[in-house]
Structure 1
Amino acid sequence: MTADRSHSPLSGRVALVTGSGRNIGRAIALSLAAQGARVVVNGHSDAAAVDGVVAEIEAQGGEAAGVMADVGRDEDVARLVRSAVDRFGSLDIVVSNVGIRRKQPFLEITPEQWDEVLRTNLSAAFYLARHAIPHMQARRWGRLVFISGFDGFWGQVTHRAHNITAKAGLHGLAMALAREFGPDNITANTVAPGAIDTVRDWSQYTHQQREQLEKEIPLGRYGKVEEVAAACELLCAERGGFISGQVIHVNGGHYMY
């Protein structure tokens, strides 16, 4: 038996979560759906993973649709947003979650690689906001959440200049949007995960020894994807409506700002 979500906190809202076929994005999509939102699940290369998340949401009585798109391309994002509105009638919540993290010495980063990382990690949020905000203005309600990372606030490690720049820029963008579109009842915030237990390409994390990191974190463990999703859920709900232009660090006290 599936749950009746008609009186859930996000009932009637439509959410789009990019990069939601696995890991943090998947957890956010499932969390928002559990709160009653109709969710557009997005991925770029793994359609089976996207379809799997849609099936999970539907199995729990929610509504979801999968749309494949490269969020590093403005025309793809325009199509993604249009698909969400065509399918569900509006768009109220956007979570920009896609990111690539390459470990490269600065002097070995080519202009093409620099542009690719910034386009995927930072420009994607700009494209999403640009296409989604008019729909939010029409309903005088909107939530923009950008998934950054603690490397954008502390620097974290060497050999990631492009990623660190993009992650820091995401919060700058959130603050600018919060100021400009607050009068439309649209909030914009950043969530910065710390060391989170995810499936990843560990060849890009040779600088991090898991056991050493766990010793450095006051809570003594990696975070869970559901804990990042919980922060997003708060920011997307009515009860989080007075939080705007802020960053929530989900890092177990590893770094305190």
Structure 2
Amino acid sequence: MVTAANPLAPLAGRTALVTGSGRNIGRAIALSLAAQGAQVVVNGHSDRAAVDGVVDEIRAQGGKALGVMADVSVDAEVARLVHTGAEHFGSMDIVVSNVGIRRKQPYLQITPEQWDEVMRTNLSAAFYLTRHAIPLMQPRRWGRIVLISGFDGFWGQVTHRAHNITAKAGLHGLSMALAREFGVDGITANTVAPGAIDTVRDWSQYTHQQREQLEKEIPLGRYGTTDELAAACDLLCGDRGGFISGQVIHVNGGHYMY
């Protein structure tokens, strides 16, 4: 029987929920945690086929996975998501909040409705996720919380994204508060801030020259991969990262430094 002490499956017996895990960074995190032995709840909002595809990939490698569709900007749906996963696998040990939308608008053109949309999706979703997951972690006296932020929240060089920048910075504030309040329960909370990661995305707002220039600005001379981002989450989600809490891990190839 595989146990959590097995170095080949250090997360065996743990249940991980990764929001927004049908593609890109979330998919890589879900697959990597499954490779570490975790039972994974894969989540998406509208693309059921993508979620099912990740579930199938995990199961094909001998892992355990469950796909649950939910809009994480709605508290009631997050409650259903968390409890469905916990009831299916018997626990909820690791949550990774990965959902985010990117809006680009001059500050004075942002409407209250547009501001609220970004806050609900990029910040409130993490609040909903953690407030429902933490009570399930406390009895086991072990838990891992990872909030995926972005360089927008730490680097003052991005224009026309005031709502996104505010939400991303807020995620680190939330992780610090959680680390302080729930450390006594054996729960860690951290923020991972990706830099320029090579994902499938809409690049229409960037010219080819802008993309090339961005790559040149990175000391390593290339974009990061989703697997490299997932590796940082692996550390934070396991026992080896058990003394890391309330921190920001920047995965950006040296593009910006603190």
TM-score category, normalised to shorter length:
over 0.9
Q: Output aligned runs, 1:181-200, within 5 Å.
A: 181-200=182-201
Q: Which stretch shifts more, 154-163 or 237-246?
A: 154-163
TM-score under structure 1 length normalisation: 0.96
The residue aligned with 2:241 is: 240
Residue 212 (structure 2) pairs with residue 211 (structure 1): yes
**Cα distance in 2 between the residues matched to 1:205 and 1:43:** 26
What aligned pairs does 1:44-59 form with structure 2 within 5 A after superposition? 44-59=45-60
Indicate conservation of the 8 Å contact 1:101/1:204, yes or no: no
Structure 1 stretches of 4+ with a deviation exceeding 6 A read none
Q: Is the 8 A contact 1:15 1:94 kept in 2?
A: yes
Q: Where do residues 140-219 of structure 1 align in structure 2 (5 Å cutoff)?
A: 140-205=141-206, 209-219=210-220
Amino acid at match of 1:105: P
Structure 1 vs Structure 2: percent identity of aligned residues? 83
Match of 1:130 in 2: 131
Compared with structure 1, are the counterparts of its residues 229 and 126 closer, same or farther at alpha carbon in structure 2 (3 Å cutoff)?
Answer: same
Aligned to 1:95, what secondary structure does the other structure show?
strand
TM-score (norm 2): 0.96
* Matches of 2:178 and 2:26, distance apart in 1: 22
Residue in structure 2 matched with residue 31 of structure 1 by the alignment: 32
Unaligned runs of 5+ in 1: none
Q: Which amino acid aligns with 1:144?
A: I
CA displacement 1:212-251 (0-9 Å, x = unmatched): 0111000000000001100000000100000000000000
Q: Which moved more, 1:4-13 or 1:107-116?
A: 4-13
Superposed displacement of residue 203, structure 1 = 3.0
For the aligned residue pairs, the C-alpha RMSD in angstroms reads 1.3
Aligned-residue offset at 1:210? 1.2
Instruction: Describe the superposition over 1:94-148 as per-residue Cα deviations: whole angstroms up to 9, x where unpaired.
Output: 0000000011111111100000001000000000000000000011000000000
Aligned residues: 254
Kindly state the Cα deviation for residue 205 of structure 1 after the two structures are TM-superposed. Answer: 4.4
Structure 1 residues 81-106: Cα deviation after superposition (integer angstroms, max 9, x where no partner): 01011100110000000000011111
Counterpart Cα distance in 1 of 2:193 and 2:175: 12
The change in CA–CA distance for 1:127 and 1:205 in structure 2 (over 3 A counts) is farther
Could you say which residue in structure 2 is the equivalent of 1:70?
Answer: 71
Distance in 2 (alpha carbons) for counterparts of 1:244 and 1:207: 39
Aligned to 1:120: 121
The letter of the residue matching 1:119 is R
Secondary structure of 1:114 counterpart: helix
CA distance in 1, matches of 2:80, 2:202: 29
- Measured after TM superposition, the shift of residue 208 of structure 1 is 7.9
- Is the alpha carbon distance of 1:139 and 1:125 closer, same or farther for their aligned partners in structure 2, counting shifts above 3 Å? same
Match of 1:12 in 2: 13
C-alpha contact 1:5 1:35 (8 A) present in aligned 2: no
Q: Deviations over 1:29-87 (max 9, x none)?
A: 00000000000000001000000000000000000000000000000000000101110
Q: Who is 1:255 aligned against?
A: 256
Q: Residue deviations 1:131-181, cap 9 Å, x none?
A: 000000011000000000011001331100000000000000000000000
